[in-house]
Structure 1
């Protein structure tokens, strides 16, 4: 291995090391450029060599990710199960040998053949797997790049978030009151609609989280607590319903199944996979339509990223009114219906 200067003043690099592909490159105008090429070549070979020698399967890598990082995520166990299922579907290859082509074939199968999943769901799975490789590389558990890092996510047509109208909300609450087998269902539904809570956050409330006219949600998706005030009359009724439980006692039993069964008696066409989450969307949508502030909504919902909350901005009463006032024809003469009739 040597860096030498040729007669014409340029520099030549020759790498001839045992166990490494031999290479020779000429024409470098500066010695520093030749040295940089040498370093990059050796580093790339080392990474490629280590990748080839890493015989851990995809499932083994997923378990390492879970131990080192995933266990600390609010949905870590759920992600782990989804990732292990992906590994099984891919026939659990050696992780370092997984190719982009293998993944793309798998994506096609999952989205177009058999029991298909929607594009958005697969994009979530794609993100989970990419995060495994990226996190382990950052932790220096592996040295190579994610084999799927250059694969773009499927472009999904953005749709307006669904929410319930006031009439639908009244219908839902009445049906729950009549048909729900678990009395807790009505209270949990009310809390979700009044605070924007996720169903699991409301369902798992403990007595100590209900205090001074407010609910404090703990163990949230963002790992941060948040406090939301309640209407005094509703808080008093809920406080009475909770009774004299110990601070760490749960107020409600699990009742999501009761909600789903009761919801079937309504005329509401619930979006797929959003039977309970639509309650959170309904709170946020009505909050904005009634003139609520987006920054306040972000705090109430517990969004770490304001872009998540901005999905509701188009519902604001004054949203994009400037499109009417500032378009190039805004100051033209008044038009009548006859103006638009074809000649």
Structure 2
């Protein structure tokens, strides 16, 4: 856990009692004038006030109007300090909080750790360009993830009143990414993968974890870390999920019986399987199947969801099985449904036409 070295976040405008320079002064003609020159707000000079009270009222209103920009300019905390504050106040409670924290700290280094309140949209866009085209050549999706992480730091701290300004980073548009169909394995490819694991893997646990992912749509880590108590009554209950909610998925009775036998007489809190992700990756490479980049194990989850929908499964049921908090994540599989947008066939302008055969009615004359 990082050491808390950040400030409290309280940056208050200077009060009348501790100002070193008076902004309200009397003119020689008996009137009063106001001169305000503070960092972070437009300079102003106004005279002709009949009384001191009127001049001070103008001063208070002007300072209140520009308070946010003044406090922003007065906030000298670095980007790293805000990231540490975000982690302690919020990030530490996220499932992937530690990973995000590491990425954000590296972003602060790459951006040369500027004063956070002075970070500009141009600085961020230039950083993005360098990272994508000059340095690591990361993909657009990864860059959008990092963009979202940094924007979330400012948004969360603003919500918690740690800062009171909106960073220009939050207003930068995310990169548009060409949407592609999610990859999945056919039944023959699944059989090939399982047979390769069975023949060449030294850990039988790898076969069982792979089977569970394919049969329940579980993430690899969820299946790999199963405990004996989570396998019960013909179903598996997944804990410590990405959404932090438990979910229960039934199993085929024959497979459940075999899994129950494999688990044996372990204690309720004993793990069923050892860590076997490395064994799976070696078997996947040996199988010579085309695994999408970065989806060595996640394609098992995609394969479950894809076949579920193609076999007539309900999208709402799939959402519960996969544990998606947002239905839009599950809708990525909707196009695989047998009746998806079938009205396009029935309601298009050529639906009642007899010219479905391109050769029909075409003259053979030269």
- Could you tell me the TM-score, scaled by structure 1's length? 0.89
Distance of aligned partners of 1:43 and 1:152 in 2 relative to their CA distance in 1, 3 Å threshold = farther
Distance of aligned partners of 1:323 and 1:43 in 2 relative to their CA distance in 1, 3 Å threshold = farther
Distance of aligned partners of 1:144 and 1:242 in 2 relative to their CA distance in 1, 3 Å threshold = same
CA distance in 1, matches of 2:302, 2:45: 60
In structure 1, stretches of 5+ residues that fail to align are 3-13, 25-34
2:44 maps to 22
Distance of aligned partners of 1:193 and 1:81 in 2 relative to their CA distance in 1, 3 Å threshold = same
Which runs of at least 4 in structure 1 moved beyond 4 Å after TM superposition? 339-343
Aligned length: 322
Select which of 242, 246, 254 maps to 1:233: 254
Is the counterpart of residue 125 in structure 1 residue 152 in structure 2?
no
1:247 maps to 268
Is the counterpart of residue 159 in structure 1 residue 180 in structure 2?
yes
1:9 maps to none
CA distance in 2, matches of 1:53, 1:335: 72
SS of 1:246's partner is coil
Distance of aligned partners of 1:268 and 1:52 in 2 relative to their CA distance in 1, 3 Å threshold = same
> CA-to-partner distance for each residue in 1:202-245, whole Å, 9 max, x for gaps?
01111111110010001111111100000011111111111111
Select which of 332, 336, 347 maps to 1:326: 347
Is the counterpart of residue 73 in structure 1 residue 88 in structure 2?
no
SS of 2:237's partner is strand
Alignment of 1:51-66 (within 5 A): 51-66=72-87
Whether contact under 8 Å (2:222, 2:241) holds in the other structure is yes
CA distance in 2, matches of 1:272, 1:157: 16
Distance of aligned partners of 1:340 and 1:286 in 2 relative to their CA distance in 1, 3 Å threshold = farther
Is the counterpart of residue 139 in structure 1 residue 160 in structure 2?
yes
In structure 2, stretches of 5+ residues that fail to align are 1-22, 25-32, 47-56
Select which of 276, 294, 306 maps to 2:315: 294
CA distance in 2, matches of 1:186, 1:15: 79
> CA-to-partner distance for each residue in 1:286-340, whole Å, 9 max, x for gaps?
0000000000000000001111000000000111111010011211234433148
Is the counterpart of residue 213 in structure 1 residue 217 in structure 2?
no
Alignment of 1:43-122 (within 5 A): 43=64, 45-122=66-143
CA distance in 1, matches of 2:152, 2:238: 28
Distance of aligned partners of 1:326 and 1:249 in 2 relative to their CA distance in 1, 3 Å threshold = same
Whether contact under 8 Å (2:196, 2:283) holds in the other structure is yes
With 311-320 and 45-54 compared, the bigger mean Cα shift is at 45-54
- Could you tell me the TM-score, scaled by structure 2's length? 0.83
Select which of 287, 290, 307 maps to 1:269: 290
With 163-172 and 242-251 compared, the bigger mean Cα shift is at 242-251
2:204 maps to 183
Distance of aligned partners of 1:184 and 1:43 in 2 relative to their CA distance in 1, 3 Å threshold = farther
SS of 2:278's partner is helix
SS of 1:215's partner is strand
SS of 2:249's partner is strand
Alpha-carbon shift at residue 114 of structure 1 (Å): 2.7
> CA-to-partner distance for each residue in 1:152-187, whole Å, 9 max, x for gaps?
000000000000010100000000111122221111
CA distance in 1, matches of 2:361, 2:314: 39
SS of 1:216's partner is strand
